[in-house]
Amino acid sequence: MSTEIFIDRGDITTLKVDAIVNAANASLLGGSGVDGAIHRAAGRELLAECRTLGGCSTGQAKMTQGYALPAKFIIHTVGPRWRGGTHEEPKLLASCYTSSLQLAVANGVKSIAFPAISCGVYGYPIEQAARVAISATREFLKCDNSLEKIIFTCFDDRVYRAYLDAERTDDRTDR
Ligand code: APR
């Protein structure tokens, strides 16, 4: 059974998957963007659990329950803030996907959805971020196909088109 990758438009807080990934900040105590949407939808118990985690470093990931969300779990990862591309941003962003996938597999997750990490408040150029996301995920799947479904959930058309282009580009380079 190989892992299926989907690129969809939508609101990640509505997805009934084993885990959704949150584009958090190092405090893990909530914020705006998808972080704010997830905390609002999950409810106050999420913040209470996040307070016990002691924060999270950029490129790393930590997991909580999903509480009032349809998803069972939330994997919180901290993307790099875009600083021109000269501060290891691609490596740190790739690590967000790899760390989240590793944590998911370690906890028996079979279906996982990612937002476009770092593509909002953190200002990462969307086309570049999408290529990093697809490439890092495919690299991970070369070593582990225990996941059944990975969904890249795009909140707007520009992100959606960037992910579709990134997937096509990655297909071509893989040949
Ligand atoms: N579902 C899916 N994607 C969403 C949703 C949602 N409900 N809401 C926003 N997004 C998208 C944004 O449109 C963007 O494409 O998630 C992507 C990531 O944007 P941000 O949420 O701004 O995250 P990021 O750029 O990683 O910045 C993280 O912002 O919210 C704060 O606390 C957070 O400090 C941290 C920073």
Q: What is the pLDDT of residue 174?
A: 63
Looking at ligand 1, which residue's alpha carbon is closest to its atom 8? 34
Report pLDDT for 145.
93
Q: What is the whole-number distance in angstroms between the Cα of residue 123 and the centre of ligand 1?
A: 10
Question: Does residue 22 line the site of ligand 1, with CB under 6 A?
Answer: no
One DSSP character per residue, the chain reads -PPEEEEEES-GGG--SSEEEEEE-TT-S--SHHHHHHHHHH-HHHHHHHTTTT---BT-EEEEE-TTSSSSEEEEEEPPPPSSS-SSHHHHHHHHHHHHHHHHHHTT--EEEE--TTSSTT---HHHHHHHHHHHHHHHHTT----SEEEEEESSHHHHHHHHHHHHHHHHHH-
| Per-residue pLDDT, 175 | 58
State how far the Cα of 13 lies from the Cα of 45, in Å rounded to an integer. Answer: 16
Bridge partners of residue 9, in order along the sequence? 154
Q: What is the pLDDT of residue 172?
A: 77
Q: Using the atom order of ligand 1, give the atom closest to the CA of residue 35.
A: 30
Ligand 1 mean position, distance from CA 105 (Å): 23
User: Which residues face 114 on adjacent strands?
Assistant: 152
Which is the closest atom of ligand 1 to the Cα of 124? 25
The pLDDT of residue 170 is 85
Cβ of residue 53 lying under 6 Å from some atom of ligand 1: no
Decide: 61 and 76 in contact? Cβ < 8 Å: yes
Tally of CA atoms within 13 A in the half-sphere of 77 that contains its CB: 28
| Distance from residue 1's CA to the centre of ligand 1 (Å) | 32
Strands of 61-65's sheet in order across: 4-9, 149-154, 111-114, 19-24, 73-78, 61-65
Q: Is 35 part of the annotated catalytic residue set?
A: yes
| Neighbour count for residue 165 (Cβ, 10 Å) | 14
Atom of ligand 1 nearest to the CA of 11: 1
Q: Which residues of the chain have pLDDT under 50?
A: none
Catalytic residue among 11, 18, 35, 171: 35
Model pTM?
0.98
Whether ligand 1 lies within 6 angstroms of the CB of 115 is answered as yes
